[in-house]
Amino acid sequence: MFEFLFREKVFETTDSQKKFEVGCKLKENHIDYKIKTEDLSKRNHLDSMKMGNVVKPKIVYSFWVRKQHVVIASCIVKGM
């Protein structure tokens, strides 16, 4: 709960390959980060089953870094 208190969000993506690339770049530059995942799919799966739709999970990955590394991390991510 308190692990995101002194951090700021620098990047957000739904692509798992992009998540892997950003994580590798931040790790190469010795920047400590946390990833917060959030499921944006429909919550009521019974409604989608009635309609005949199969709901694909939509997961958002957010990268959070310490406040003193925000500028460096955002430059690294924008440079990719």
2-78: which CATH topology? Alpha-Beta Plaits (3.30.70)
Residue type, 27: K
How far is the CA of 8 from the CAs of 5, 24, 25, 43, 48, in angstroms? 8, 19, 17, 27, 35
pLDDT given for residue 49 in this prediction: 57
Max alpha carbon distance in the chain (Å)?
49
Say if pTM beats, i.e. exceeds, 0.95: no
Instruction: Per residue of the chain (80 residues), give pLDDT as tens.
Output: 566 678 899 999 999 999 999 999 999 999 999 999 988 876 666 655 555 566 677 899 999 999 999 999 999 998 87
Q: Judge contact between 18 and 77, C-beta under 8 A.
A: no
